[in-house]
Amino acid sequence: MRKAAIVGIGHTVFGNLSDYDLVDVMSFASTNALDDAGIRENRKIIDQVLVANMGGGIINHQTGIASSLVSRIDLEPAMAELVENGPASGASAVKLGYSLIASGMADVVMVTGGELMRAVTGWVATDFVATLLHPEAEYNYGITLPGFGGIFTRMYMERYGLTEEELSLVAVKDHENGSKNPWAHVETICTIEGICNSPDAKVVNNMVADPLRMYHMCPVSDGAATVILCALDSPKMKYFKEKEPILLNGIGSATDTHCLHHRKDPLELTAVRLSAERAYKMAGLKPEDISFAELHDAFIILELAISEEVGFFKRGKAREAIVKGITRINGSLPINTSGGLKAKGHPLGATGVSQIYELVKQLRGEAEKGRQVKNPKHGLSVNFGGFGNNVVTTICSKE
C-alpha cells in the first residue's frame, strides 16, 4: 500500500464569517494551503479535491460545493466530490483522500472542510445538528446533541466521581491554549470561579444542559481548513520542497448504534476505541507512543472520555490527569493544544481537517509561542460523528 504525506496546510479564522459565502471561506483555506505547499503556480498537479461539509445544502442553500471550489480556485479538471459524515466529515474526507492515494487512483489530493453555521440563529443551528439523531426515537422527542452531552456528563460524574470543578479545569486549559491560537473563535481566558463559582455565574454562564454550562461546550462557528496529501513514491513530490512532509501514518474508523439506548453501556464509546485500535495497528504504534492529541471536545466531558477510550488513561482516571496538569502544554501528554473545539471552535465540516492541521503544525514545530509541544514525534486526533455513532482516528508522524 502506498504511503502518503501531508505536504501543505491551510486555515481560516474560526468565528463569524457571515460576510462571505461558503465557497469563499473554503477558497481562503485552500489557497493558504497551496501557498504553504509552494504550489500556487503548479496547482494543476492536484488530481483530486475532496470537500467535507454537512450543512451547505440545508443552511447555506449551496450544493455542488466541491465542483464550485475547484472552479473558484482554478483547479479544473481535477476530480471533485463532497464527503458528508456529520461532525466527522473532515477526518472522513482525509481518510478517503488517503485511500485514493493508497489505491493509485491519485497522487495529490486536496482536502478542504468548511462550514458557515452562523448564517442561521443558534436555535436553528442546534436543530440542524440534531438532524443527526434518529428521526422517530430521538429527534421527535426534542433531544439535542447538548442534551445527550448533559446526560453523558451526569452519568460519568455519578460513576467516576468527577466534580464540576474538575470538569471546568478542562475548559480552563483549552481556553488558555486557544488564547494563543490566532485562528481560535474564542481567545478569552477563563477560570473555574468564572465558570461555576462566581456570584453571577448563573447569569453570565448559565446552565445549558445540566450539568453542562455555557463554558462547558463549544461555540457555533464558521470556518474552513485544508490539507494537501501526496504519495511518497510519486514523482510529484519534487514540487513540495517548502515544508517538511508529515507522514499520514495511521487512520481508522468505526461505527456504533445510531440510537444511544441500544448501547449496552452508554458511557462506553465503542467506535472511539475501535477506530483508535485500527489507527494504532496501521501506524505500528501504541498509546504510549503518542506525543500529543487533538480530541473532539464539543462538550468538554468528551475530552476526558475519549482520552480514556484511546488508551491514554484508564476509565475514570482522566480526571486525575487534568488535575495533575498532565494534559497541559507543558505536561507529559498535551491534549487540545489548539484550544480544541471548546475554544478554537467547531465548524462541523472543517473540524476534522482542522485537527489534522494542528497535528502537522505541531510536528513541524510551527505552533505559536506558548503552544508548541516539545519535540513531538506522533500526534493523534479523534473526530467524533453524531454522539459517537461514526468516529475517525488519525495519527500523523514525523518521517
pLDDT at 365: 97
CATH number, domain of 107, equals 3.40.47.10
Q: Please tell me what DSSP assigns to residue 364.
A: H
Q: Which residues contact 264 (CB under 8 A, 6 or more apart)?
A: none
CB atoms within 10 A of CB 141: 10
Question: Which pLDDT tens digits describe the chain residue by residue (399 residues)?
Answer: 899 999 999 999 999 999 999 999 999 999 999 999 999 999 999 999 999 999 999 999 999 999 999 999 999 999 999 999 999 999 999 999 999 999 999 999 999 999 999 989 888 988 999 999 999 999 999 999 999 999 999 999 999 999 999 999 999 999 999 999 999 999 989 988 888 765 555 555 578 888 999 889 999 999 999 999 999 999 999 999 889 999 999 999 999 999 999 999 999 999 999 999 999 999 999 999 999 999 999 999 999 999 999 999 999 999 999 999 999 999 999 999 999 999 999 999 999 999 999 999 999 999 999 999 999 999 999 999 999 999 999 999 997
CA distances from 314 to 82, 156, 158, 320 (A): 37, 14, 17, 10
Query: Can you give the pTM of this predicted structure?
Result: 0.96
| Phi-psi label, residue 344: left if phi above 0, alpha if psi -120 to 50, beta otherwise | alpha
| Closest by Cα among 153, 9, 155, 145 to 88 | 145
In a domain, 333, yes or no: no
pLDDT at 277: 98
Which is it for strands 292-295 and 378-385: parallel, antiparallel or unpaired? Answer: parallel
In a domain, 32, yes or no: yes
Cβ distance 270 to 263 under 8 Å? yes
Cβ distance 43 to 74 under 8 Å? yes
In a domain, 145, yes or no: no
In a domain, 102, yes or no: yes
Find the domain containing 68 and state its range. 4-121+220-239
In the chain, the number of structural domains is: 1
* DSSP string for residues in 211-262: TEEGGGBPPP-EEEEEEEEEETTSGGGGG--SS--EEEEEEEEEE--SSGGG
Distance, CA of 217 to CA of 341 (rounded, Å): 8
In a domain, 160, yes or no: no
In a domain, 20, yes or no: yes
Q: Please tell me what DSSP assigns to residue 88.
A: T
Q: Which residue, chain included where needed, has cell 512532509?
A: 245
Q: Please tell me what DSSP assigns to residue 87.
A: B
In a domain, 346, yes or no: no
Q: What are the backbone angles phi and psi of residue 40, rounded to the nearest 5°?
A: -55, -40
Cβ distance 346 to 298 under 8 Å? yes
In a domain, 11, yes or no: yes
